Homo-oligomer: A and B are copies of this chain.
Amino acid sequence: MTILPPKPGDPNASQDVRDRVLQVAARLVAEGGRAALTTRAVVAAAGIQQPTLYRLFGDKTGLLEAVAEAGLASYVADKASAEPDPDPLLDFRMGWDSHVGFGLAHPALFAIIWGNPDPARVSPAANAGRVALRRKVQALAVAGLLRVSETKAERLTHATCTGVVLALLDMPDDDRDIELASITREAVIQAITFAAPATATPGPAGAAIALRASLAHTTGLTPGERLLLAELLDRISEQA
């Protein structure tokens, strides 16, 4: 007459329980951040006891890492099902966008995995992501596109992509400058490969930006004219 222990005699009941705990924990993290992941909340929601939780995951850190790894694994499972694109550059772009997508879909998990650096601990989840990145960088190198060492390219990509996602997560979710991700991605490609720029640099934008910046120091304009001019310059700037 307990809650619902699925089957006492199930041979793979352990794995079943473990999956259920991970599912519950992932939901708690997604809803309330890492602070909401308390052992008591997990055991209550999963219908188990605290000692069971500790037998499964060792301690709370183990649970957290298991949640992170499972979340990342379930995300890359969809992406990695298809073999990598033959174009290494396109594959690199897709990998970048996928990583950004994971961050936006699982803000708390992303911040836990990549927002709390600790040289001592090696996170299996972070490792998995790094391996995927290394493969894509290696493909670039094989294609002769890399202008820096593989290590440098990998580190620069990982660092900038992580920074972009954290910056995006710090904006209100209904006002995220998602363009920031693609702009940075192309900047990274520019920095590590010989690939030609995807978009040519327009002429007027630079001057418009410069004038916009010093607009406050202009004279001879009415307030209305200045406001109108600012709007026009902003539009030209964004065309870049």
Q: Which residues of A contact B (CB under 8 A)?
A: 107, 111, 114-119, 138, 141-152, 155-156, 158-164, 166-173, 177, 179-180, 183-184, 186-188, 190-191, 194, 198-199, 201-215, 217-221, 225, 228-229, 232-240
- What DSSP secondary structure best describes chain A's contact surface? helix
3 closest Cβ contacts across the A-B interface?
A163-B163, A141-B213, A198-B206
A141, A183, A213 interface centre (most CB from chain B within 10 Å): A213
Chain B residues within 8 Å of A218, by CB: 204, 236, 239
Quick one: closest B residue to A144, CB to CB? Answer: B210
In the complex, A210 Cα to B147 Cα: how many Å? 9
A118, A209, A232, A240 interface centre (most CB from chain B within 10 Å): A209
In the complex, A183 Cα to B151 Cα: how many Å? 12
Chain B residues within 8 Å of A215, by CB: 204
Chain B residues within 8 Å of A187, by CB: 156, 187-188, 190-191
Chain B residues within 8 Å of A209, by CB: 141, 146-150
**Cβ-defined contact, B211 with A211, below 8 A:** yes
